[in-house]
Amino acid sequence: MARERTRRGRRGDFQAPAASAARTRARQVKPATQPKSQAGVRRERGGGLRTFSGESWGELKKVDWPGRRQIVSATIVVIIAVAIVGAYLYVADYVFQRLVRDVLLGF
């Protein structure tokens, strides 16, 4: 399909392509269908709480849960990060407290 060139207007704006290209593009677009689930099956209405809980349990069985070693190492990383950020905030608070009290307020 060849692209049609467009001319520039006075302000440098591009003009829209010819109507024939728009009709060709419209024919190539597929009509919208009903939404499908992740498995590719059409969704049906209804189901309720029992269906929801059954599907949720099935999804939880697919999860690759972390082992004990991964949980411990991730917990240690989080504790170290919290300690570093807490120490930084403590020092910044102390410095700004002294700055405001001694310099700005002049006590």
Q: Comparing 93 with 27, which gets the higher pLDDT? A: 93
Q: What is the dihedral of CA 50, 53, 56, 57, to 10 degrees?
A: -110
**Helices within 2-47 (DSSP H only):** 19-28
Residue 22 and residue 36 in contact, taking contact as beta carbons nearer than 8 Å: no
DSSP state of 13: P
Query: pLDDT, tens digit, for every residue of 2-41?
Result: 555 555 555 555 565 566 666 666 666 665 666 556 666 6
Provide the whole-model pTM.
Answer: 0.44
What is the Cα–Cα distance from 17 to 7, expressed in whole angstroms? 9
